[in-house]
Amino acid sequence: MKLAASLVCAIFTLAWAPGVSAQSYPVNPIRLIVPFPRGRCPGSRRGGWCWGGDGAIPPGWWHGVLRRLAIAMFASALLVAGAAIAQQYPTKPIRLIVPFPPGGPTDTHSRWAAQQLNVAFGQPVVVENRAGAAGIIGTEAAAKAAPDGHTLLGGNPGPLTIAPSLRKQLAYDPVRDFAPITLIARNASAWCVHPSVPVKNLKDFVALAKARPGKINFATPGVGTVGHLAIEHLATLTGIKMNHVPYKGAALYTVDLLAGNMDFAQIQIFQAAPYVRAGKLRALGVTAFTRSPLLPEVPTAQEQGVKDYSSYNWNGVLAPAGTPRPIVDRIHGVLAKALANPETRKQMEAIGYEVSGDGPAEYAAFLKSEIEKWAKVAKAAGIQPE
């Protein structure tokens, strides 16, 4: 009986003792032996000789291999996830912000783009006109929107390529805060006056302006728009002084010009042509390098002695920076396909547009070059940032 009791106690002690030891472990410093020399990249003895953060240095070449493998796997996962997101996009209606009033070229091109995306994606694309501050208000709203592809911007040179030279405190950076998608088209303008103004061409107008310095009013879509700097550039090159009257869009000042309430304005050729043909406006010159087929009788600025002068308005579609690239590419694919259609190109060219279709990389490079160009014009005109 005593032997059986002793045996039971011994078995119980053996079963219980390891648990007590595990609970009290460790009682001394632990030594972890790494059978490799120290490498170039920090690792950890605790996590093996490849990973961690206590200062141990694993073999550099093997750590580099694993690191590159991890980066490649992570990048592959991002591509797969991005592709999945793009396939599901859009999951709700898309908002396309136009930073100008309805009726102007930015609004027209944006509504064309909205129609293409609506047909391709089967989701409503709502055009939201948010005018003010020469396009800056709407552009800022787009820059601050969630970068998920459900908010887009109708791009215009004023707030994107000119404002950086004229505004001290711009709440967005045109290069850093946007993801360019597609450059749709560009077109030139015509310098127009009311028929009551006693001039027939640009040379006559320059002579009149010099005889009446500061008394001729010229209209633009707002301070810092391409229409503003284009006329300021003309004034600098010809040595004339005029009075700037900013509006909230081209459509608004065109009404005043037609009524004889404005002296001089720059109107896109396709919009000016009907009024010129009807005798309601007089075109003094065009801002393109070559004459327009819509107004073939109107000479360019260079033909009239203003060398190296040109000015184009352009429109495109952008998204907030951080929008997944697969979504950007999918939107561009829809718009580029539509712009490559011969019928679409014919229709746009018939009203004076030069069709583009440039994608994200080309559009981004174009924006940077335009920012540099208008910065030089602003400096030469003596325009100080406000």
CATH code of the domain covering residue 260 = 3.40.190.150
Cα of 356 vs its chain's centroid, Å = 16
146 vs 94, 95, 320, 321, 323, CA distance in Å?
12, 11, 7, 9, 8
Residue 24 in domain: no
- Residue 323: per-residue pLDDT: 98
Boundary-marking domain end, from 70, 88, 106: 88
- Residue 58: per-residue pLDDT: 54
Residues 81 and 218 in one domain: no
d(CA 44, CA 56): 5
Phi and psi (nearest 5°) for 116?
Answer: -65, -45
- Residue 24: per-residue pLDDT: 59
Residues 171 and 46 in one domain: no
Q: Is the distance from CB of 294 to CB of 270 less than 8 angstroms? A: yes
The fraction of the chain above a pLDDT of 70, given in percent, is 79
Strand 217-220 with 264-268, pairing: parallel
Residue 297 in domain: yes
Q: Is the distance from CB of 219 to CB of 262 less than 8 angstroms? A: yes
- Residue 29: per-residue pLDDT: 77
Residue 352 in domain: yes
d(CA 157, CA 153): 12
Which amino acid, 142? Answer: A
Residues 66 and 103 in one domain: no
Stretch 338-345: mean pLDDT: 96
Residues 147 and 74 in one domain: no
Residue 289 in domain: yes
- Residue 151: per-residue pLDDT: 98
Stretch 164-186: mean pLDDT: 95
d(CA 374, CA 65): 48
Residues 46 and 162 in one domain: no
Nearest to 297 by CA among 198, 199, 201, 187: 201
Q: Which domain holds residue 224?
A: 93-386
Residues 58 and 161 in one domain: no
Which residues 6+ apart lie within 8 Å of 17 measured at CB?
Answer: none
pLDDT band per the 50, 70, 90 thresholds, residue 3? very low
d(CA 299, CA 30): 89
- Residue 14: per-residue pLDDT: 41
- Residue 62: per-residue pLDDT: 59
Q: 125-135 pLDDT, tens per residue?
A: 999 999 988 89
Query: SS3 for the chain, per residue?
Result: CHHHHHHHHHHHHHHHHHHHHHHHCCCCCCCCCCCCCCCCCCCCCCCCCCCCCCCCCCCHHHHHHHHHHHHHHHHHHHHHHHHHHHHHCCCCCEEEEECCCCCCHHHHHHHHHHHHHHHHHCCCEEEEECCCHHHHHHHHHHHCCCCCCCEEEEECHHHHHHHHHHCCCCCCCCCCCEEEEEEEEEEEEEEEECCCCCCCCHHHHHHHHHHCCCCCEEEECCCCCHHHHHHHHHHHHHCCCCEEEECCCHHHHHHHHHCCCCCEEEEEHHHHHHHHHCCCCEEEEECCCCCCCCCCCCCECHHHCCCCCCCEEEEEEEEECCCCHHHHHHHHHHHHHHHCCHHHHHHHHHCCCEEEEECHHHHHHHHHHHHHHHHHHHHHHCCCCC
Stretch 36-42: mean pLDDT: 52
- The total of structural domains in the chain comes to 2
- Residue 236: per-residue pLDDT: 92
pLDDT band per the 50, 70, 90 thresholds, residue 22? very low
Structure-block tokens of residue 119? 């047909």
Residue 149 in domain: yes
- Residue 61: per-residue pLDDT: 59
Given a cut of 60, is residue 104 above it in pLDDT?
A: yes
Given a cut of 80, is residue 60 above it in pLDDT?
A: no
- Residue 133: per-residue pLDDT: 87
Residues 116 and 69 in one domain: no
Residues 79 and 198 in one domain: no
Residues 280 and 296 in one domain: yes
Which amino acid, 88? Answer: Q
Q: 349-385 pLDDT, tens per residue?
A: 988 898 999 999 999 999 999 999 899 989 988 888 8
Residues 71 and 152 in one domain: no
pLDDT band per the 50, 70, 90 thresholds, residue 30? confident
The overall average pLDDT reported for the chain is 85
Stretch 311-332: mean pLDDT: 97
- Residue 19: per-residue pLDDT: 46
- The tally of CA atoms less than 13 A away on the side-chain side of residue 295 is 31
- Angle, CA of 302, 306 and 309, to the nearest 5°: 70
Given a cut of 60, is residue 12 above it in pLDDT?
A: no
Given a cut of 50, is residue 49 above it in pLDDT?
A: no
Residue 20 in domain: no
- Residue 20: per-residue pLDDT: 41
Given a cut of 80, is residue 39 above it in pLDDT?
A: no
Given a cut of 80, is residue 51 above it in pLDDT?
A: no
Residues 106 and 221 in one domain: yes
Structure-block tokens of residue 129? 């006109």
Residue 54 in domain: yes
Which residues 6+ apart lie within 8 Å of 174 measured at CB?
Answer: 159, 160, 161, 163, 164, 367, 371
Residues 79 and 127 in one domain: no
Boundary-marking domain end, from 64, 88, 112: 88
Boundary-marking domain end, from 88, 110, 128: 88
Residue 261 in domain: yes
